[in-house]
Structure 1
């Protein structure tokens, strides 16, 4: 059995099937032989000897009828008494014909039958037919002495019939014994086949359980041990080749998991360290934001204020170059203030978290338009929008997105009056917004660059700004679980698209 457990599972199954096939073939041959022998013995008794006995009785009856008819005719000379003789001759011929068909294979019975036929023929030719002819000629009964001679003529026929009957009874006893023996043999063979089949099935079941099921169960238990978290537990490899290969694969997977866990622990340690560094960096950023919003703003305001005082007091009293220098200083201080405010706003996105609320984008857009209403009026712009959905968002941040996109459309306008169109459509679990304008447009090569902080495509003298607006929009949209991009398929103007998640109530109602 130990050597068998090293076999491949395919070979085990093939051996089991071959064993069953050989057993079934042997069982069919033995069972077929026993049943064929039983059928032959039964056919000998039922289809040959028993019908032969019946025909022998019929032959005896026919010969007795002949003898009785001839004797009655001899005593009474009555023609009607000969009827049993005539019918007996016909019955004898039929019985003999049937016996000739049934007795082949029983030589002694065939010899007795020939003897009966010969003696019956001798009786008819030697006594019956001459007696009938004599009475028909004289129309007178014969003497009693003649009748007694007829009985003596018929005595050998009786002895031959008795011998035939005895022979057939002996043959039937032998055939019945053969039939009983064949039945006993068939029963023994069938019982033996059933016992052998049961033993083979039990043996195969025990063998398969020992060689296949037990190793698989053991492997399953060890895999469950590993799956429960004991990755250091080695998986034993036993059983058929496929099971051992599977155990080896599980061991390799376990070792790989151990390696990955080790690497993961190291990564977690490094991540914890980086998280600590990040928390410290965030704390420093908080401190920087505080300093930028208070300590840096005050010197800038002071510089800007004194530069403006110099400009008002000494304007046209100094040379033209001095006035220009003062204007540069005032403009730089103002732009520095705007840049610091924009940086503060950018850093607060996602860091200063307010509660998300359900808000109508129509209301948010209305507030954004109100915030830039003066610029819209100055540019003689028109802002149109489809009915917008309700989303979950921080209202000030979402207002900033619409406000920045509309402001860009007003800033980068062409020769015609600005036209801003805001549309929305459902795209699975997201709302897809689009803000289109008829401005100067953006080349496809700058589709990603425009969302990078401080990246400008134009001179600040032509288009004022810090280059932080679209970076702010991307950070706000991604903070809300969406994305924003430039649609590069439009042929004129610009078209910015962004997505926001559909709120759960709308998902449920659609389902």
Structure 2
């Protein structure tokens, strides 16, 4: 192969192969189409013309034989019922003649001439037989019987000639059909051989022009990847493969440059990781301080403010006592805020054991923790049959406790009613906590899950604004999600928990 030919693009090679294959295949398909057309024409002629013509001719023969039988029976027995085959045969003869006319038995054709011969013989016999079967006709004479037999023999002869000619036409049609089928089979074999030959030529050509250079380039790339990344890569063959080799070489050079940069970044990452570990240690120390050391000063401030309140009760004016109440309330709220922040930060930092537990038991535990709030609000908490889930029981109890506690806190004029349900949705259990409280506007559906986000003043409803944020963190820690269902009629929070493989058959009731 010349150097110029090897420098062709893959598109040019494929175009050359495609054109050659298309020309040969089109020629083969054209021959096959002609053979198929001949086969179809022969088959249609045999099935739609010759076959029906022969069937109509047999029907005509049967009709004439029935007529002869009816005439002969009437001549012997002189009973009107014996003429029934004759009258039926006349009607069938007309039907058969009409079918033959429709199928091409017209004067000037062979089948038409045969039909005319049959009809003339039949008409002559029918004319001779008519006086013998007329009402009141005298008994038939032997001469009349003999003449009728002679005339009907002529009818039989013309019918036999017609059927012989139709049989010859049928045999000729079968021969044409066989020849067309043979030609079509030969064309199909030729197409198959041509396709196989083209496949072989295409395979060998593409292997030499495209596959071999690609394998050579792949071998060089594999050697670079497995052994020596600094070995240059050279592409050969068609223009695209040569360009691919150049691109791989450019990529190799770029990888070498980026590896050097990655080594520097890795060293920097190690240093930053050590700094992050020290920062995490400092944060843990801060959490310890917040949970122990900061609690003690707050308790001291609250205790001494309460002592001042008791000792100097009645001695201070109203504003002084109000200031002391503000100080005590601020210290208590600071303690609650610190505890909530610590609980929020601990979620997922020191994972506990996930166990299979009945969600109904978790709801019962949450309700038991809220016994005082339930009693004060005259509320009621209901739940149906809940599934078993694989969770950290303490954390998931906190989720139910926060959601139910909010329902008891943000109640309307009627006593709060809370309902906990669950249903299976694919690979998750979807839990719902609904209540008849004051509700939440749809525009705040996402804001309520942010830290320290409150929709009401502290004087209206107590709290730190961390409860729902803590619920979201716990649910996401378990691989689920939580949201406010803004389309539900009542205030409804929903969250998902992945269903275990063994829990798929446990259906939760509403």
TM-score, reference length from structure 1 = 0.58
Does the CA contact (< 8 Å) of 1:360 and 1:389 recur in 2?
yes
Alpha-carbon separation, structure 2, partners of 1:478 and 1:400? 14
Cα deviation, residue 433, structure 1 = 0.9
Alignment of 1:31-430 (within 5 A): 211-225=209-223, 228=226, 234-248=232-246, 250-251=248-249, 268-269=266-267, 271-430=269-428
**Alpha-carbon displacement from aligned partner over 1:58-89 (angstroms, at most 9, x marks no partner):** xxxxxxxxxxxxxxxxxxxxxxxxxxxxxxxx
Instruction: Summarize the Cα distance change of 1:11–1:339 in structure 2 as closer, same or farther, 3 Å threshold.
Output: closer
Where 1:375 maps in the other structure, the secondary structure is helix
Cα deviation, residue 452, structure 1 = 1.1
Task: From the CA coordinates, give the structure whose radius of gyration is larger.
Answer: 1
Where 2:351 maps in the other structure, the secondary structure is coil
**Alpha-carbon displacement from aligned partner over 1:193-233 (angstroms, at most 9, x marks no partner):** xxxxxxxx999999765543321211222343456596665
Does the CA contact (< 8 Å) of 2:387 and 2:506 recur in 1?
no
Alpha-carbon separation, structure 1, partners of 2:459 and 2:244? 72
Alpha-carbon separation, structure 1, partners of 2:336 and 2:506? 45
Instruction: Summarize the Cα distance change of 1:11–1:340 in structure 2 as closer, same or farther, 3 Å threshold.
Output: closer
Alpha-carbon separation, structure 2, partners of 1:344 and 1:400? 14
Q: Does 1:451 align with 2:452?
A: no
Does the CA contact (< 8 Å) of 1:385 and 1:423 recur in 2?
yes
Q: Which runs of 5+ in 1 are unaligned?
A: 23-200
Alpha-carbon separation, structure 2, partners of 1:347 and 1:467? 15
Q: Does 1:6 align with 2:4?
A: no
Alpha-carbon separation, structure 1, partners of 2:497 and 2:422? 11
User: Among residues 478, 498, 502, which one is paired with 2:499 in the alignment?
Assistant: 502
Where 1:294 maps in the other structure, the secondary structure is helix
Where 1:420 maps in the other structure, the secondary structure is strand
Does the CA contact (< 8 Å) of 1:4 and 1:211 recur in 2?
no
Instruction: Summarize the Cα distance change of 1:202–1:332 in structure 2 as closer, same or farther, 3 Å threshold.
Output: closer
Paired position in structure 1 for 2:474: 476
Alpha-carbon separation, structure 1, partners of 2:19 and 2:339? 87
TM-score, reference length from structure 2 = 0.58
Instruction: Summarize the Cα distance change of 1:205–1:341 in structure 2 as closer, same or farther, 3 Å threshold.
Output: closer
RMSD (CA atoms):
3.4
Does the CA contact (< 8 Å) of 2:10 and 2:238 recur in 1?
yes
Paired position in structure 1 for 2:438: 440
Alpha-carbon separation, structure 2, partners of 1:399 and 1:503? 19
Cα deviation, residue 476, structure 1 = 0.7
Alpha-carbon separation, structure 1, partners of 2:486 and 2:259? 45
Alpha-carbon separation, structure 2, partners of 1:425 and 1:371? 25
Cα deviation, residue 356, structure 1 = 1.1
Cα deviation, residue 370, structure 1 = 0.3
Does the CA contact (< 8 Å) of 1:231 and 1:257 recur in 2?
no
Cα deviation, residue 335, structure 1 = 0.9
Instruction: Summarize the Cα distance change of 1:12–1:300 in structure 2 as closer, same or farther, 3 Å threshold.
Output: closer
Alpha-carbon separation, structure 2, partners of 1:270 and 1:489? 50
Where 2:293 maps in the other structure, the secondary structure is coil
Alpha-carbon separation, structure 2, partners of 1:261 and 1:431? 46
Does the CA contact (< 8 Å) of 1:383 and 1:420 recur in 2?
yes
Alpha-carbon separation, structure 1, partners of 2:425 and 2:9? 55
Cα deviation, residue 8, structure 1 = 2.1
Where 1:425 maps in the other structure, the secondary structure is strand
Cα deviation, residue 490, structure 1 = 2.5
User: Among residues 463, 466, 470, which one is paired with 1:465 in the alignment?
Assistant: 463
Does the CA contact (< 8 Å) of 1:5 and 1:212 recur in 2?
no
Does the CA contact (< 8 Å) of 2:10 and 2:239 recur in 1?
yes
Alpha-carbon separation, structure 2, partners of 1:223 and 1:376? 73
Alpha-carbon separation, structure 2, partners of 1:225 and 1:422? 63
Alpha-carbon separation, structure 1, partners of 2:229 and 2:255? 7
Instruction: Summarize the Cα distance change of 1:305–1:433 in structure 2 as closer, same or farther, 3 Å threshold.
Output: same
Paired position in structure 2 for 1:105: none
Count of matched residue positions in the alignment of Structure 1 and Structure 2: 332
Cα deviation, residue 355, structure 1 = 1.2
